[in-house]
Amino acid sequence: MYRLEEETEADWWEAEALYDLCFAPGRTALSSYRLRDGVPTVAPLCLTLRDDDGTLAAVIRYWPALIGEEDVLLLGPIAVHPTRQGEGLGGLLINESLAEARKLGWERVLLVGDMPYYSRFGFKRLEAVEMPPPTNPERILGLELKAGAWTGIRGLVTKAT
């Protein structure tokens, strides 16, 4: 059994350790991290999953960003402890957080990731959206939380102000 909760300040470093465990060294040099630097998370969407003994099994974070003057929700990073992978915990975090994002009124979600994994949640390749370099354009994916939310949205993703 797992306990799903909003990430707290006390969880921050434990979550960072899980990200370090799951991702290659230098993860913070990626372009998406430049969009997060100095910008507060969208706290109600940043979730932790802990098992019965309190061990952190998975975590997901979201950040605000902009394309032109349009708000966009930047999903990531998401990490599942290597000993818990394959249990559907990543999917659980994605589905729960996207449902909450809809309730909060967010219209569109952006991420840099693998299409085969994220397409099952409804993410599609965004042809007209650019992430700061170096980002493989094939990995820029978006999801509409409101019908038509990506229509006409094009350009470079920038930091929320």
Q: Which domains does the chain have, with CATH numbers?
A: 2-159 (3.40.630.30)
Token pair for 59: 């975590």
pLDDT of residue 78: 96
pLDDT (0 to 100) of residue 99 = 98
Q: Which of 26-35, 94-103, 137-146 has the lowest mean pLDDT?
A: 26-35
What is the pLDDT at residue 158? 96
* pLDDT value of position 39: 95
pLDDT score of 157 more than 80: yes
pLDDT-derived band of residue 25, with 50, 70 and 90 as boundaries?
confident
pLDDT of residue 30: 75
Two tokens, residue 139: 């990995």
pLDDT at 144: 98
Q: What is the pLDDT of residue 31?
A: 77
